[in-house]
Every structure is written in structure tokens, then in C-alpha cells.
Amino acid sequence: MRRLTYLGHSAFFIEKDWDGILIDPFITGNPFANFDYKQKRITYILLTHAHLDHLGDAIAISKHTGAIIVAVVELANYCIEKGAKAMGVNIGANLKFKWGSVRFLQALHTSSNPDLPYGGVAASLLIDIDGTTIYHAGDTALMPDFAMIGELYNPYYALLPIGGYYTMGIEEAAIAAKMLFAMEVIPMHYNTFPNIKVNLREFIDLLDAQGQKCNPLKPNEYVEI
């Protein structure tokens, strides 16, 4: 069984056989999330950066489930200080797990929270599960790396922030989708807060005009990957 479930905002849950991999698990305070981690098998938690709408419940979930947080080293060390299990890596890492691999790539963003003035640099994640590639862009502006990532890794799914204000908006996200050569684009990081409200239809139309598929998952919807 291989499944990618959207939990709202930038949070996703990947299930692969006996592994459960959470990405940016912003559950508490996320108006769209309906996810009870106590009912799920969670083995890894991947974090793109330290902002609270991405770090989310990661530390509590790690403490409860024993799941290992994988994050840039400054953020990972902070999680360890707080009692979580974590491995600290850096941009450029290509990590192999029994369920797949994760590359830590750049994101054009910041990484901190009120309790952690410097959380290292922000990351994006290229996940490969049995040859299915999922690119989670984290929070980022439009950046030239998208062209390199598209050329080198040709991600099937691109999970792209479209809300603007804190990240790129719909026009830049459509350009990013083109640079990534993504087969299927799943928008994220929009409509959670008033200042990241967008007209989703406009994004769908932009992708449609360039011949790319948008799959706007509703919270708790999933795709079989």
C-alpha cells in the first residue's frame, strides 16, 4: 500500500507498507487537519523548516510514537533538546530508508520560531518511493533550483505553496510547475489564514493552459502513489 494524504496547509502523510511518514505535521491549530496521530503508525517525520505552521506537532508526535524527525541540523538539535528523536542533516543529503529515499534540497525561505532564533536554512524535499517521486517544496519563493530539480529528478508529484505573502503565489507556482516538469501538481499552503487566501480556480486554469494537471486535494483526501 502506498498512499499520499493531504492534511491541510503543508502537512502530508505518506503510508508505505508498515511505515508512516509525516511531512510538516501542523495539526494543532490547523483549521483543516483532522488527523489523530495516536491512531496511526508513524515512523518518520520530515521537516522543511522551523516555522510553527511546519514544525507543528512534530515534537509531541515523536515523543508519543518514537518516530524519528529528520531535519536540518539546527532544527533537529532543537527537537532533541525538547525530548524528541531526531537526525540532523543538511542541504545536499540523500538519505536512504527502507521505505524510500529523501533528498534535502534548497528552499528560498527562512527558518526560526519564537523559541529558536536560528533553525538553520529552510529545505525542500525530494522523496522517492519505489520510483515514484514526490517533490515537497516547503515554503519557498520561485527559485532557479526548480529547473535543476526538474532536469535531474523529474518529480511526478509537485507539492507547491501557492498562497503568496509568505511564499510564492499562484503565478510563480505555475512557473515552478513548468520548470519542474511535474506530471501532477498538488497545491498547498493556501487559504489557511486570511493573508494566504487565493482563488484556486486561477491556479488550475494557469496549469491547464500550460498542459499540466492540477490535483487540488481537499484535506484528508489522498492519492494512491
Chain contacts with Zn ion (rule: CB under 5 A): 51, 139
Nearer residue to Zn ion within complex by CB, 188 or 225: 188
Nearer residue to Zn ion within complex by CB, 33 or 207: 33
Least distance from C-beta 41 to Zn ion, angstroms?
28
Nearer residue to Zn ion within complex by CB, 9 or 51: 51
Least distance from C-beta 126 to Zn ion, angstroms?
19
Nearer residue to Zn ion within complex by CB, 20 or 161: 161
Least distance from C-beta 1 to Zn ion, angstroms?
31
Nearer residue to Zn ion within complex by CB, 26 or 135: 26
Cell of 9: 496547509
Least distance from C-beta 60 to Zn ion, angstroms?
19
DSSP strand pairing (68-72 vs 85-89): parallel
Least distance from C-beta 46 to Zn ion, angstroms?
15
Phi, psi (5° rounding) for residue 140?
A: -160, 155
Evaluate whether 123 touches 72 at the Cβ level (below 8 Å). Answer: yes
Nearer residue to Zn ion within complex by CB, 100 or 138: 138
Cell of 11: 502537512
Least distance from C-beta 59 to Zn ion, angstroms?
17
